[in-house]
């Protein structure tokens, strides 16, 4: 076994050990909590309560203390700490906005409420009615006048000091991750704000949001392997979409001049810190435009979201300052290869010359690849990871751009671009090919490449060609990877840090409901 395999095995063993320790500790504490649950029932109280009419969030009380001091408030949240001093106690209560201190005195609540308090645990959800004040240490606090149990937690939260740090457990039990780690909640709050800002910018610029099929009889719009499922009623296989592109362009044919969609794509490919099989994309299409309009949209949308959500267009990503202020840098694909390797593809005239450059650079290619595909392989090998500041790469070869319009001056390339930040592709756009005869020919070429072994080659779509035959106006199209954009704007190292529930391999011996099979069976019997 190699060093990498040994290291992976060690990490896996540590993960299993941590899980086992958590479960051993859980079982004893869960029994204690079950006993408390019964005692709450014995008091005649309901441990899983009803609607609670809260008046303020915690942060609102802190921000508006000058107006709320000595005023009645009602708050609700999860107990994150209990400091019991006998006849008095302090609790830390956490809601969606953050934490606030709560002060409780035995002689200021009913005997029943005090008995209830003695049965509370960290993790329980309660409602508090009381007055706002500031302690002699200056801590803004709510003084309890009424205590209501809203939900008894039967599982203990992770240790306060150890926290929840194992990424595997965090991703599998995101609900616990969100409880324990405020910075994780902040990331997903920002995700929502960023997506709202994208919608705001687009609708302010005349774009209409639409929805197109997630299941398709022919997959297309990207070079990727699809997920296949089966529709029983029609007895046919269908594909989870890899892109909404061809349907959105059909809408432009139909007369919708500016459309966009924010939704999921599915690609049956590998998983790493930049790829998840299910991910969120923005695609826009602007009639009577071209790829320059898509470039403008890209840098404007990204910089606008940064300014609105973060208050700046200069961000720090993984220790590197990134300036998102438009306009962004521009280079052609051959210029980028030359800048970072010294090899000049603009002088290449034969496939042999292209292969020789690829061999020198260590770029992989097949015997069927033309000059354009080899150029792209060399770009990915030597240039892509070095594009740290926002950069548009354009001048993509025709053979890797089956849906883009040819460049008027150089028909071997297309009017297409890709946007890169921190060495990662963020966006892809082009002047859309609207010549149905040319489009059919490119689909046919893609099908020949599929027959030669390229399983990501584009499929023939006769209905899309028919739509183009009715007339597609000149159109600029854009696709932005929302998850990657949010990674940059929240300084997230992995795409799984910005997806609430990333795809994970099921744990061995664990049932789908988040418990092990034996425990699940026992609970069913009970």
Q: 144 and 42 share a domain?
A: yes
Which of 352, 348, 340, 381 lies closest to 364, judged by CA? 381
Q: Is the pLDDT of residue 17 over 90?
A: no
Q: Residue 425 annotated as binding?
A: yes
Region 100-107 average pLDDT: 97
**Rounded to an integer, what distance in angstroms lies between the CA atom of residue 313 and that of residue 315?**
6
515: confidence class by pLDDT, cuts 50, 70, 90: very low
Q: Over the stretch 324-382, which tens digit does the pLDDT of each residue have?
A: 999 999 999 999 999 999 999 999 999 999 999 999 999 999 998 999 999 999 999 99
Looking up tokens 């809408």 gives: 251
Q: 190 and 258 share a domain?
A: yes
Q: 407 and 265 share a domain?
A: yes
Q: 242 and 315 share a domain?
A: yes
Residue 199 is part of a domain; what is its CATH number?
A: 3.30.930.10
314: confidence class by pLDDT, cuts 50, 70, 90: very high
pLDDT in the model for residue 451: 83
Looking up tokens 């011996």 gives: 509
Q: 240, 214 in Cβ contact below 8 A?
A: yes
Residue 47 is part of a domain; what is its CATH number?
A: 2.40.50.140
Region 16-44 average pLDDT: 80
- Cα within 13 Å of Cα(115), Cβ side: 11
Q: 221, 245 in Cβ contact below 8 A?
A: yes
Whether 367 maps to a domain, the answer reads no
Q: Over the stretch 116-133, which tens digit does the pLDDT of each residue have?
A: 999 999 999 999 999 999
Q: 204 and 300 share a domain?
A: yes
Region 255-278 average pLDDT: 94
Q: 396, 410 in Cβ contact below 8 A?
A: no
Tell me which residue range forms the domain holding 440. 182-328+389-497
Q: 222 and 271 share a domain?
A: yes
Q: 186 and 145 share a domain?
A: no
510: confidence class by pLDDT, cuts 50, 70, 90: low
Token output for 390 = 């926002």
1: confidence class by pLDDT, cuts 50, 70, 90: very low
Terminus-to-terminus CA distance in the chain, angstroms?
46
Q: How far is CA 408 from CA 394, 416, 437, 478, in A?
A: 14, 12, 17, 20
Q: 287 and 205 share a domain?
A: yes
14: confidence class by pLDDT, cuts 50, 70, 90: low
**Rounded to an integer, what distance in angstroms lies between the CA atom of residue 398 and that of residue 503?**
34
How many Å is the Cα radius of gyration of the chain?
A: 29
Cβ-proximal residues to 280 (8 Å cutoff; 6+ apart), any chain: 262, 263, 264, 265, 481, 482, 483
Q: 241, 215 in Cβ contact below 8 A?
A: yes
Specify the number of domains making up the chain.
Answer: 2
Q: 112 and 253 share a domain?
A: no
Q: Over the stretch 130-145, which tens digit does the pLDDT of each residue have?
A: 999 999 999 999 999 9
pLDDT in the model for residue 520: 29
* DSSP symbols for 177-204: HHHH-HHHHHHHHHHHHHHHHHHHHHHH
């Amino acid at each position: 076994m190699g060093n990498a395999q040994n290291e992976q095995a060690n990490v896996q063993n540590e993960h299993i050990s941590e899980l086992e320790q958590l479960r051993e500790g859980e079982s004893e504490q869960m029994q204690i909590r079950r006993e408390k649950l019964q005692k709450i029932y014995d008091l005649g109280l309901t441990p899983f309560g009803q609607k609670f009419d809260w008046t303020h969030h915690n942060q609102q009380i802190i921000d508006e203390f000058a107006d709320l001091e000595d005023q009645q408030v009602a708050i609700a949240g999860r107990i994150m700490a209990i400091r019991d001093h006998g006849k008095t106690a302090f609790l830390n209560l956490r809601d969606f906005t953050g934490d606030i201190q709560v002060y409780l005195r035995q002689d200021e609540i009913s005997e029943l409420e005090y008995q209830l308090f003695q049965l509370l645990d960290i993790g329980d959800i309660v409602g508090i009615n009381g007055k706002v004040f500031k302690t002699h240490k200056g801590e803004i606090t709510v003084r309890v006048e009424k205590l209501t149990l809203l939900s008894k937690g039967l599982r203990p939260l992770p240790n306060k000091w150890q926290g929840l740090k194992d990424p595997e457990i965090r991703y599998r039990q995101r609900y616990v991750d969100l409880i324990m780690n405020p910075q994780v909640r902040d990331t997903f709050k920002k995700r929502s704000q960023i997506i709202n800002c994208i919608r705001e910018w687009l609708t302010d610029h005349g774009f209409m949001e639409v929805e197109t099929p997630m299941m398709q009889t022919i997959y297309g719009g990207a070079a990727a392997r699809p997920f296949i499922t089966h529709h029983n009623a029609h007895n046919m296989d269908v594909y989870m979409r890899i892109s909404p592109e061809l349907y959105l362009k059909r809408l432009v044919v139909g007369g919708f001049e500016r459309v966009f969609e924010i939704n999921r794509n599915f690609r049956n490919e590998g998983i790493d810190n930049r790829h998840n099989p299910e991910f969120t994309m923005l695609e826009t299409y602007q009639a009577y435009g071209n790829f320059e309009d898509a470039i403008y949209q890209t840098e404007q949308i990204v910089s606008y979201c940064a300014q609105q959500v973060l208050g700046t267009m200069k961000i720090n990503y993984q220790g590197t300052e990134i300036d998102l202020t438009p306009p962004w840098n521009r280079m052609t694909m051959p210029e980028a290869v030359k800048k970072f390797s010294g090899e000049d593809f603009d002088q290449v005239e034969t496939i042999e010359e292209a292969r020789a450059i690829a061999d020198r650079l260590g770029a992989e290619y097949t015997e069927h690849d033309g000059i354009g595909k080899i150029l792209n392989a060399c770009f990915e090998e030597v240039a892509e990871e070095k594009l740290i500041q926002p950069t548009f790469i354009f001048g993509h070869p025709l053979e890797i751009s089956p849906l883009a319009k040819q460049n008027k001056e150089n028909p071997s390339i297309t009017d297409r671009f890709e946007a890169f930040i921190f060495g990662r592709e963020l966006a892809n756009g082009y002047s859309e090919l609207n010549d149905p005869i040319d489009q059919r020919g490119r689909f046919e070429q893609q099908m020949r490449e599929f027959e030669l072994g390229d399983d990501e080659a584009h499929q023939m779509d006769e209905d899309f060609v028919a739509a183009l035959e009715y007339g597609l106006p000149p159109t600029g199209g854009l696709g932005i990877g929302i998850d990657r954009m949010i990674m940059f704007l929240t300084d997230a190292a992995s795409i799984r840090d910005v997806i609430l529930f990333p795809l994970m391999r099921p744990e061995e011996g664990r049932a789908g409901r988040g418990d092990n099979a034996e425990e699940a069976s026992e609970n069913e019997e009970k």
